[in-house]
Chain A
Amino acid sequence: MNRTIIDCNANLGSWPFRRTSYNTPEDLLERIGRVGITQAWVTSLDAVVLKNVAAANAPLAEAVAEHDALRAVGTVNPSWPQWERDVAECAELGMIGVRVNPNYQAWLPTDPIFGELLSAAGELGLFVELTVRMTDERHHHPLMMVPPVALGGLLDLCARHQETTIMVANANNAQVLGVARDAAGPLPERLYFEMSHIESVGGVQAVADQIGVEHLLFGTHAPYYYPEAATLKVFDECDFSEAELEALTHGNAEGLLAAR
C-alpha cells in the first residue's frame, strides 16, 4: 500500500555517547524507507551537546538540500546572546522549525526567554520543537546525567502564543497524559505531541483517545531507535481506523506545516 508516512522526529549526525548507523541522509532514507516511511523531518544529534548549537544549522540544511523527502529542523538556544539571529538564519535556510533542548541548554520552559522564542519563531513561520529528552535518563553517562524537561506551564505558554505551533518530542505516556489532564478539555489547537516514546500495550491508541488523534504526530527517533518500533505500534498493535491512520501518519503533519 502506498501510504504517505511522515516521520516528524528523525535525526542526522552523531550522538556523542553511542555510535549510530544510518545517520547520513542517504542511509537514513534507505533505513526508514524499509518500513514504508516516505518523508522525514530531521534534527541534528550533534547540536544537542554543541555549546554553539547554531553551528549545526547550515550543515544540516546543506545535508538535506538534495533530498526532497527530508525537511530540516534547526536548533537554537534562547539563553545565548544573539539567538534571534539563529532563528532568522533557520528561516533563511528554508528550515520548517526550530528545536530546543532546555535540559541540555540549562534553562527552563517557564523562563521568559522561551516565550520570546515562541514569538520570534511564530512570526517567521517556524514551529518550535520542545524535546523533553534524548535517551532514557536511567542509563545516561555517569558524568552527564540530564533530567527530562518538565512540561508544567506548557499550556500557559500555548495560551499566550496561539500564533506559534509547538511540537513536543520524546515525551512519554505520563508526560503527555499529564498535559492532557491539566488541560481538562481539548488541547490548544497548535499543540502536538510526537509519539516515539509512547509505550505500553496499545499505548499510542490510548494516548490518542485522551488527547485527540489530531494532536499526535508519527515519529520514530530514528536512527537512534529502530524505526520498526513506530510502525509496529501504529499499524500492528493498535487498531486505528483508516481516518485515524491518515491523520496520524501524514495528515496532521501536513496540516501543521500548512498552518504555520
Chain B
Amino acid sequence: MSAHGSIIDCHVHPTAARGDGPAACAAEMLRYADRMGIEWQGLSLGPVFIQQPTEDEIVADNDFIAEMIELHPDRFFGYANLNPNLLFHSLREIDERIANGPFVGIKLWVALCCNHANVDAICERAAELRAPILQHTFFRAGGNLAGESSPADVAALASRHPEVTFIAAHAGLNWERGIRAVADQPNVCVDTCGFDPEAGFTEMAVQWLGAERVLYGSDAAGRSFASQLAKVHGADISDDDKRLILSGNMRRVLAL
C-alpha cells in the first residue's frame, strides 16, 4: 500500500478548496486526503454548484472533473453531473463521459426529482454501462426543494431498476427516516456524507442495512474529510464493518 491509506471517499466536490483551476484544486484536495489516509476520491460537481445547469454549464463542470482525473487517474474517479431535465443532453454526456471514459458513475443533484420518467431513461443507460448513480437525497424539514429527491424517491426508482446500484447521498440528512425509507431496497446504499457527525448514525445504518450498504463519503470540500470519517472511526461497530464502509463496499460497487 502507498503512503496514503486505502480509504475510498465516494462523495467529493472539489469546490471550496483553495486554488484555482483543476491542477491547483487537485493538489489541494490530495494534500488533505493524504493526511487522512484517503486514497481515492469520487468527484462530481466542480467549482460551481448550479441547481438548474444549462448544457454548457454541465459540459464545463464535467470537463473540470475530467481534467482532475486525467492529472491523477490513480486518485480520482468521476460521476458525470447531469441535468435530467435535459434528457437528450444527459444521454449524450453518459455516452461521451462514461461509455468512452474516464467517468464511472452518474451524479444527480437537485435539478429534477428522481421520480420523473426522464430519470428512468438515464437509469436504463446506466444499467447497460454498470454505472452507479449518486443521487442527492434529503428529507428536509419543512419540505424538499422543487427538484429535490428523498430516499423514498430513490427506493422507488431503484425498485424499477434492480440492476443499478444507487447511492442515497446523505442518507436523507434526516437519517433515522432516510435509512428506513431505503431499507427494503437492496440495490440502494447510503453514504455517510454531508451532515453533522451525529452519533448513532452509522450504528443505525449498519443495523438496518448491513455494513455492506453503507459507504464512506465526505462531501468535501464543503465538509471536512475528518468530521465525516469520524462517523466511521467513532462508531460502535466492528473493525470488519469499518473496513467495508471505508473501502470494501466501494471497491465492489466500482468492480475494482
- Which residues of A lie under 8 Å from residue B175 when comparing CB positions? 139
**Chain A residues bordering chain B, tally (CB within 8 A):** 36
Question: B36 and A229: CB pair below 8 A?
Answer: no
Question: B173 and A228: CB pair below 8 A?
Answer: no
- Cβ of B230 < 8 Å from any Cβ of A? yes
- Which residues of A lie under 8 Å from residue B138 when comparing CB positions? 138
When chains A and B are docked, how far (Å) is the Cα of A225 from the Cα of B234? 9
CB distance from B244 to the nearest CB of A (A): 18
Interface stretch, picked from A16-24, A150-158, A182-190, A246-254, is: A16-24
CB distance from B54 to the nearest CB of A (A): 27
- Cβ of B225 < 8 Å from any Cβ of A? yes
- Which residues of B lie under 8 Å from residue A142 when comparing CB positions? 141-142
Given contacts A226-B197, A236-B36, contact A138 B229 (CB under 8 A): no
- Which residues of B lie under 8 Å from residue A197 when comparing CB positions? 196
- Which residues of B lie under 8 Å from residue A140 when comparing CB positions? 141
- Which residues of B lie under 8 Å from residue A138 when comparing CB positions? 138, 140-141, 173-174
Q: Which bucket holds chain B's interface residue count?
A: 35 or more
- Cβ of A145 < 8 Å from any Cβ of B? yes
Question: B141 and A139: CB pair below 8 A?
Answer: yes
Given contacts A200-B16, A237-B36, contact A135 B196 (CB under 8 A): yes
Question: A199 and B173: CB pair below 8 A?
Answer: no
- Cβ of B51 < 8 Å from any Cβ of A? no
Question: A224 and B199: CB pair below 8 A?
Answer: yes
- Which residues of B lie under 8 Å from residue A203 when comparing CB positions? 224
Question: B196 and A237: CB pair below 8 A?
Answer: no
Question: B223 and A200: CB pair below 8 A?
Answer: yes
- Cβ of B198 < 8 Å from any Cβ of A? yes
- Which residues of A lie under 8 Å from residue B246 when comparing CB positions? none
Contact of A229 among B17, B35, B230 (CB under 8 A): B230
- Cβ of A222 < 8 Å from any Cβ of B? yes
- Cβ of A74 < 8 Å from any Cβ of B? no
- Cβ of A201 < 8 Å from any Cβ of B? yes
Question: A136 and B227: CB pair below 8 A?
Answer: no
- Which residues of B lie under 8 Å from residue A99 when comparing CB positions? none
Contact of A199 among B36, B174, B199, B224 (CB under 8 A): B224
Q: List 21 A-B contacts (CB under 8 A).
A: A18-B176, A139-B141, A139-B174, A145-B141, A145-B142, A197-B196, A199-B222, A199-B223, A200-B222, A201-B17, A201-B32, A224-B198, A224-B199, A225-B197, A226-B235, A227-B230, A227-B234, A228-B197, A232-B226, A233-B226, A239-B35
Given A229-B224, A237-B32, 10 extra CB contacts under 8 A: A138-B173, A140-B141, A145-B141, A226-B197, A228-B197, A229-B227, A232-B226, A232-B230, A232-B233, A237-B35
- What is the interface of chain A, defined by CB distance below 8 A to chain B? 18-22, 35, 135-142, 145, 197-204, 222-229, 232-233, 236-237, 239
- State the 3 A-B residue pairs at the shortest beta-carbon distance, nearest first: A226-B234, A232-B226, A228-B230
- What is the interface of chain B, defined by CB distance below 8 A to chain A? 16-17, 28-29, 32, 35-36, 138-142, 173-176, 195-200, 220-227, 229-231, 233-236
